[in-house]
């Protein structure tokens, strides 16, 4: 992307203080989604993180990762695989738990969602502490997928989330 | 779509008995998502429901509606607006409640998500009783959007959901 395009995206993101709780500055990406041109820019930037590798499947993480991931899958002609919060997927799953600030959460993937050696691009909107993405990478590895890159629209660099993602190549369109 | 294409989609959907609870036959659309070609077919079929109308924004309903809606938005060059379960949207919202089998649920849209008179295509994966879609239509009307059509991948016709959607044009790619 051109610096001017990055600036346009950055300008469109709406900072909402104290959401979902006091002290948190929420980066609201809905103005980017709602503008067809900015949405297209974002999807192209995320898709470019694959480089020259032909991607078999995009993995999107429940729920905002579905929005970006599905559009990237459409752009690349790839399949789309959802990783969901526990209890939403109807077929046989692999489950991984991860820590939240208070307590734990679990995410799932269908066991048959990826063929062995398939090239995977993981998409989510936000890299914060990296807990969800790290759990997602474990699930993908467990069922045989080969992660080409993990791409986020936004990275909150002060939280060092990428350190939890091991050897995976991590890309972010915007950093805060 | 050609009848042969509809048949391919129909064949790919996986019937899962007794999910999420005994007596329910769940129509699992993840095999359609995971196949790049079937996903593309589905997105084209959903987009075609707009006819010759230039769509300004796609509304996708949390969470599977995000997958189809975002890809249709990308195909049409439109913006994407999420309708979310309560508590997920950070800015000023309109809220609508609707009945579930046991109790109530609430969905929200950002008040500034749609400009007056914008042409809207509503996308979700499944039309069952129509409660969620009816609430979504109320939200869109309240903030000034003009609904061109409501498009589903699957309609469970025995539940008469489309009767709750008023004058809206309702389209479904597959019916059961």
Query: Using the 8-state DSSP alphabet, how is residue A18 labeled?
Result: T
Round to whole Å and give the CA distance between A98 and A61: 14
Query: Using the 8-state DSSP alphabet, how is residue A35 labeled?
Result: S
Whether B45 is in a domain gets the answer no
Split into its structural domains, chain B has a count of 1
Query: The whole model's pTM is what?
Result: 0.97
Give the contacts of A10 (CB within 8 A, at least 6 positions apart): A174
Token digits for B68? 């189809």
pLDDT at B152 over 90: yes
Q: How many residues does chain A have?
A: 176
Q: For position A78, which CATH number holds?
A: 3.40.50.2020
The fraction of chain B above a pLDDT of 70, given in percent, is 100
**Closest alpha carbon to B62 in B93, B18, B25:** B93
Whether A18 is in a domain gets the answer no
Average pLDDT over residues A144-172: 97
pLDDT confidence of residue B58: 98
Residue B165 contacts A, CB cutoff 8 Å:
no
Interface contact A67-B79, CB threshold 8 A: no
pLDDT confidence of residue A167: 94
Interface contact B36-A77, CB threshold 8 A: yes
pLDDT confidence of residue B100: 82
Q: What is the pLDDT of residues B89-140, one digit of tens each?
A: 999 999 999 988 778 999 999 999 999 999 999 999 999 999 999 999 999 9
The fraction of chain A above a pLDDT of 90, given in percent, is 97
Q: What is the pLDDT of residues A102-132, one digit of tens each?
A: 789 999 999 999 999 999 999 999 999 999 9
B130 with B155: CB under 8 angstroms? no
Q: How many residues does chain B have?
A: 176
Whether B166 is in a domain gets the answer yes
Whether A147 is in a domain gets the answer yes
* Whole-complex ipTM: 0.96
Whether A10 is in a domain gets the answer no
**Closest alpha carbon to B20 in B31, B12, B28:** B28
* Closest chain B CA to residue A110: B30
* Domain with B68 in it: 52-175
**Closest alpha carbon to B14 in B29, B24, B36:** B29
Round to whole Å and give the CA distance between A149 and A173: 13
Q: What is the mean pLDDT of chain B?
A: 97
pLDDT confidence of residue B141: 97
Q: How confident is the model at residue B21 (pLDDT cuts 50, 70, 90)?
A: very high
3-state secondary structure of A65: helix
Q: What residues of B act catalytically?
A: 64, 101
Q: How far off is chain B from A92, nearest CA to CA, in Å?
A: 10
Average pLDDT over residues B10-36: 97
| Residue A7 neighbours by CB distance under 10 Å | 12
pLDDT confidence of residue A147: 98
C-alpha to C-alpha distances, A96 to A34, A62, A84, A110, B40, nearest whole angstrom = 33, 14, 11, 12, 30
Whether A26 is in a domain gets the answer no
Whether B11 is in a domain gets the answer no
Whether B80 is in a domain gets the answer yes
pLDDT confidence of residue A102: 78
pLDDT confidence of residue A101: 74
């Amino acid at each position: 992307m051109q610096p001017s395009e990055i600036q346009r995206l950055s300008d469109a993101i709406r900072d909402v203080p104290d959401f979902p709780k006091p002290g948190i500055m929420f980066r609201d990406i809905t103005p980017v989604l709602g503008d067809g041109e900015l949405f297209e820019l974002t999807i192209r930037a995320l898709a470019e993180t694959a480089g020259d590798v032909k991607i078999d499947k995009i993995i999107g993480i429940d729920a905002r990762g579905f929005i970006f991931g599905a559009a990237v899958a459409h752009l690349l002609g790839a399949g789309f695989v959802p990783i969901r919060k526990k209890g939403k997927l109807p077929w046989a799953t692999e489950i991984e738990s991860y820590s939240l600030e208070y307590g734990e959460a679990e995410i799932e993937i269908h066991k048959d969602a990826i063929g062995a050696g398939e090239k995977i691009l993981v998409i989510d909107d936000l890299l914060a502490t990296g807990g969800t993405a790290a759990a997602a990478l474990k699930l993908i590895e467990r069922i045989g997928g080969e992660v080409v890159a993990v791409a986020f629209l936004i990275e909150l660099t002060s939280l060092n989330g990428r350190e939890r993602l091991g050897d995976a190549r991590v890309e972010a369109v915007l950093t805060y």
